[in-house]
Structure 1
Amino acid sequence: MTRTLIRPTGFVDSPFGHDGKVARLAGGLNWFGLVELLRIDGNRRTAGEIVPVAGIEDRFDAAMAADWARITGQRKALQMGERTIRLDQPQVMGIVNATPDSFSDGGAYADASGAADAGAVMAAAGAAIIDIGGESTRPGATTVWENDEIERVLPIVQRLAAGGHAVSIDTRKSGVMSAALGAGAKLVNDVSALTWDPQSAKVVAEAGAPVVLMHHQGDPTTMQDAPRYDDALVEVFLWLEERIAAAEETGIPRDRILVDPGIGFGKTVAHNLELMNGLALLHGLGCPIVLGASRKRMIGALANEAPADKRLPGSLALALKGVEQGAQILRVHDIPETVQALKVWRGLRDAALTPKSV
């Protein structure tokens, strides 16, 4: 099947003086004056054309018009208990892995009390959401028994939720989702995009919780053996589009769905770079974008094999690349540093978006 996808590009500092020539990206702080029209056949692009935003509607068919409405539409804020997480500006999600074998911080939080304290520190440093995980999904990781995972995460979720923090649960398992949501978690972050456990979509739908659907290719045990794509950017877009439709069919509305391109999950360095460069295409899905590139292997591959705990500069570079293309949530390990980078970025945006007197 042939169709045309729309990738926002040609970002500008300010919309002032450019009426009709620029568009606002996803109701956020980014404006763009050009789009790349990607003609695709099946799962790969066959042609690309850079065109101005001015008059672009004249070229739309019905499908393109729907994508354009999603690209330029406002993203609804996340309501996580008493906390409202606005998505008209980038937010930080802090990572707390209650695991012995995560690729970066495995074993860092030896007990529930220490993990909860670490999450509270992250929140104090500016993390809007604390993401709790009890199973490593790094390349080569093995599956954790559901009850073991629950025992790892539940006390942490309970402590942080009782402290008034916005908590998400990072899991593939419906039993863990149900237990964590019952303990006060308000968002599900599923690296399998609700494909691993056939009961997970039902649990999310009945709880009325927002959910992050992450792209992946293969299982964590084998996903990095030989990942292949005809066109990584297009395939990730189409796969997430299918998963959104599947989630909607189970009763999860689109305004409670977030998407994650799955950096490092069944992808080579080249695939990851392609996704980072083309990230704005995903706004055509009409869902907030979660970017989890913090300390990922691609940084080491590009920087003299820097170990995971030495990848902060690369993580910040990828974070800022993401927010420049409208990513709404950055899932990171290094909260104070990322928050500071975003404050400087926000200062630049605020200055650009302040009308100047003549």
Structure 2
Amino acid sequence: MDQRQKNERINLILKLLMAILFTTGAIIFSYPFLANAVNSYYDQKMMEKNLAEMAATNTKEQAKRHQEMAEKNKELAESKNMTNIPGMGLVEDPFENAVDDAKDPGKAYYEEHTVGAIYIPKISVSLPLFDETNAALLEKGATILQGTSYPIGGNSTHSVISGHSGLTERKLFTDLEKLVIGDDFYLTIAGEKLAYAVDDIQIVLPSDIDKVVIQPGRDLVTLLTCTPYGINTHRLLVTGHRVPYVEEMAEEVTSTKKAVERRFRLYLLLIPLFFAMIFYWMYRKFVYYQSGKHSYDFCFYLLENGQPKAGVTFTLVRKKRWATDVTSQPVAVSQVDGWVSFPEIRGGRYYAKAIDGSTKPVKGKVRRLKDRQFVLSHVTKKKHGKKVTYYLENGAKK
């Protein structure tokens, strides 16, 4: 093995190590986005399945469930008892355990506690809505905070819907801070569809209870999450008042669902494409190195205005820029028929250049190890069966 091959081998190893490090870094960087896309898609499909099953149940059962929620809302409004809101009264704040791993209680548990769905088009959120708040349910979607109204609408109701921010595998309410006054969010619960327009945004301490109390005569829903990101010392409250649910809103809900599906399909497309590109690049580097152990022909015809041109001297260099000293490089002169040939050249990447600069350079590389000649670029290619002939043309064709 000569010095050039040793240098190329070292160069190949270094490039492969760089490719491995780059790929590893890309995987680590993209994991949260990929995990969120996959989990969001899966959760949405499960949510749609549960909603479809609920819609297929007896109308009387749905009405009974709705009536139970309405009665609890009435009791809450009359008692004005808000002391059992997690983090704001006697119940432990579930967000305090946000970084802990909640044990997965199983599919049946989530189905049992699913009462609806929440959609926030502005931030492409489509989540299942659970009937209580605990660490396990917070890992999967949005939860109704105990001690607040059920979000079924009605005067003198104020529901608080909580969701995690900053989870590695799910975004959930991470982008809630992007909402502004006037943005809408939608709920599907107990067979009804409700719409709310954001009219108040506040950042408060976890113990600041008066921000989520029932306001007589008003129909409110507050979205609650931790803030600031990664510190979680405060709570972000995004409150909306009830507005009429119109057809355009249904289209926004559909668009939000499709956005989740598009994001999932995009990753399904990009991930194989990314790895295909990495493996192809590594394969090309391998071929480049291995081809240096074999010899190939670098040949083409030189034409001027469609006719062969003789007497033009070409040199073969490894770099595209002009070499100051060409005496050590292979040289070939175009023949009467325009034929330019550099036979038995060790594999690699080369440029054939006219010493007088009268033609554009011809780039050549080895595509497959079993080939017998270089594959050339910046030339015209013609096939004759399995044989390929290259033409470097100057001027206009006749």
TM range (shorter): under 0.3
TM-score (norm 2): 0.25
TM-score (norm 1): 0.27
The structure whose residues are more often strand, as a share, is 2
Structure showing greater radius of gyration is 2
Structure with the greater relative contact order (CA < 8 A, sep ≥ 6): 1 or 2? 1
